[in-house]
Amino acid sequence: MPAILQTGSKNKSLAAPWRRNARQRLRVWYRQHARDLPWRRIRDPYAIWISEIMLQQTQVATVERYFPKFMAAFPTVAALAAAPEQQVMRLWEGLGYYRRARQLHAAAKKIIAEHGGRFPSDMDTLRQLPGIGRYTAGAILSIAFDIPAPILEANTLRLLSRLLAFRGDTASGTGQKLLWQTAEDLLPKRGSGQFNQALMELGSLICTPRNPRCNQCPLKLLCPTNRDGLQNHIPALRTQPMVEDVQEAAVVIVRHGRVLLRKCVAGERWAGLWDFPRFPLPKTIKPRPSVASDKHKNIANSVRQLAGITISSPQQFVTLRHSVTRFRITLDCFTARCNGSTQRIVTASNNGHGQLQWVKPEELEDFPMNTTGRKLSLLWRQHTRLRAPPTTRN
C-alpha cells in the first residue's frame, strides 16, 4: 500500500500519488456502477438544489418518488417562489423534516427578490440563502457549475474517515477540519461534480455503516481501515440519545359535518402543518376505553386550552404508535362533538390558540399534515363509515 499521508510543517495531507490513484479508481468504478437517478441527468442548479435538500436525512428511494412530482409542480425557482406555502408543504408531506420545505420556499423568494431569479454561483452568496450550509453549497457549485467545492455529508464522512483511518470524533472541531481538508485535497480541478457524486455513491452503496462490502470497493487496496480490519471501529460510534416514551392524545372534533384542524405554530413539532388538536397526556392517566370520566374531563380541558372550544363525550377509537427524533410516542385518538350551542364556529383566524379551521372531511386531502395526522384522518373516516346507520329506502 502506498503512503497515504505526507507531513508538512503544520498539517497532514494526502500524498499526491495516492490522490491520483484514488481518483482514477473511483472514476472507473462510478462510470460502471452509478445509479440512474433523475437529478443526475440535468445540470440545472435549481433542480440539483431541490434534490440535495430532499436527500438530507432521507433515503434515495424515497426521494426518487418525490422529486419528479415536486419538479412537475414547481419546474422553476420562480414557480416555487410564487406558490402558496400550503401547496409546497402538501407536496413535501411524508418526506419529514418539514423545516427544509419552509426554508426552500423562503430561499426561492429570496432568489427572486435579490438575485433576479438567477441561481447564485458563489459560495458566500449561496450560504446566505435559508437552509443552505457548506455541504449543500458545495454540492450545487460542483455539480451544476463544475466549481471545485468540497462536500462532507454522512456517506463521505464515513468513507474519508476510513481512508484516513481516523479514529477520533468526526463531529469535533479537529475531526471536521481534517475531513473537510481531505475532501478538498481529493477534488480534481475538472469534473468535481461527478467526483463528489462518486464519493457519495461509494459511501452509500459500498462503504456502508455496517458490513461494508470492502471486497467490491475500488479503493480497498488504498484503505488502511480495510487493511487493519477496523471497519467496525471507524468512524468512532457516537453515543445515541436516550429514547423517551411519551403519551399523547389527538381529538377529531366534529360540528355540522365538519372537523376542526389546527395549524402548528413556530417552535412546535411539525410547525406549518395542519393537525387535529393534539396534546400530551399526564402519565397518571392511562387512556383505555374502560377508564371512567376523569379521562374525558382531562381530554375536554386540554382541548379547551389548546383550541378554545368545548367538547362533550370524547370516545377513543384507535391508538397509533410512532417515533419522532428521540421520542417514542403512543397516540390515543378520540372523536368528539363540539358544544355548538355556546360556541361560534372558528374560521381560519389566529385566536391565540393557533390558526384553526373547520373543514369538510373530503377537504382534508388539501391540507398538508404530518404522517400520523394523515393516517388518523383516514382511520377516522373509516371509523365513521363503519358506525354510520344503514340507509333506508321507502
Q: List the catalytic residues.
A: 52
Alpha-carbon dihedral sign for residues 359, 364, 370, 371? positive
Give 348's DSSP letter: B
Within 13 Å of residue 369, how many CA atoms lie on the same side as its CB?
A: 19
Q: Report cis status (omega within 30 of 0) of the bond before 235.
A: yes
| C-alpha grid cell, residue 297 | 374531563
- Residue 237 C-alpha cell reads as 460510534
Contact 256, 339 (CB under 8 A): no
CA distances from 320 to 185, 272, 375, 388 (A): 49, 22, 9, 23
Write a three-state SS string for 14-53: ECHHHHHHHHHHHHHHHHHHCCCCHHHHCCCHHHHHHHHH
CA 69 to chain centre: 17
CB under 8 Å to 323, separation ≥6 — which residues? 243, 329
Written as one letter, the residue type at 268 is: E
